[in-house]
């Protein structure tokens, strides 16, 4: 076979072959609404978008109209909270979630709960009986004051 025909045959075969499809992202992503209520009746609510893992992720809190209220990002080195033009940095995400919502959200536990693991620690007791309907309830008994966390996932 002459070199020109060989090159044409290779080009035709390569054009007919399929390229491997890109691997889908392995990051877990959730969205919905969350609410916190403490023993005194104080409440805090927001829509949210959550992605990543307990080790590295991002939580975006949204108003009812969809505007960004706050963005919380973390990795193993630090956590950063952005709210409007303000920016705070701490060693861990729980410290910044305390600053944002008044309660240190248990991010490690939250990812377990979203994956149907009823892990309890740090004073938090989850109720995952509604997870099939996209609902998670958790109660923190200690440290005081007691807090209820309600999550409703989008479908």
User: Tens digit of pLDDT for each residue in 19-50?
Assistant: 333 333 445 899 999 999 988 888 999 999 99
**All domains of the chain in start order, with CATH:** 24-153 (2.50.20.10)
Q: What is the reported pLDDT for 100? A: 86
User: Tens digit of pLDDT for each residue in 97-152?
Assistant: 988 888 889 998 999 999 999 998 889 999 999 999 999 999 999 888 899 999 99
Q: What is the reported pLDDT for 121? A: 85
Give the Cα-Cα-Cα angle 81, 83, 88 (nearest 5 degrees): 35
> For the purposes of burial, counting CB atoms within 10 Å of the CB of 77, is it exposed (0-12), middle (13-18) or buried (19 or more)?
exposed
Q: Average pLDDT for residues 54-60, to the nearest whole number?
A: 95
Q: Average pLDDT for residues 56-74, to the nearest whole number?
A: 95
- Residue scoring higher pLDDT (118 or 8): 118
Question: Residue 62 carries which DSSP code?
Answer: E
Record the pTM.
Answer: 0.78
Give dist(CA 61, CA 135) in Å, integer: 18
Q: What is the reported pLDDT for 58? A: 96
Q: What is the reported pLDDT for 26? A: 44
Q: What is the reported pLDDT for 16? A: 38
């Amino acid at each position: 076979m002459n070199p020109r025909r060989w090159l044409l045959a290779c080009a035709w075969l390569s054009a007919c072959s399929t390229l491997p499809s890109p691997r889908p992202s392995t990051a877990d992503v959730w969205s919905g609404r969350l609410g916190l209520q403490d023993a005194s009746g104080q409440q805090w609510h927001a829509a949210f978008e959550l992605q990543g893992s307990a080790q590295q992720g991002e939580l975006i809190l949204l108003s009812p109209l969809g505007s960004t209220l706050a963005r919380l990002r973390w990795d193993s080195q630090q956590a950063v909270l952005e709210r409007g033009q303000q920016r705070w940095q701490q060693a861990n995400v729980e410290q910044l979630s305390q600053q944002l919502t008044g309660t240190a959200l248990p991010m490690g536990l939250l990812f377990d709960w979203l994956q149907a693991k009823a892990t309890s620690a740090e004073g938090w007791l989850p109720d995952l009986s509604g997870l099939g309907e996209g609902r998670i309830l958790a109660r923190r008994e200690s440290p005081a004051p007691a807090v209820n966390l309600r999550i409703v996932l989008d479908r």
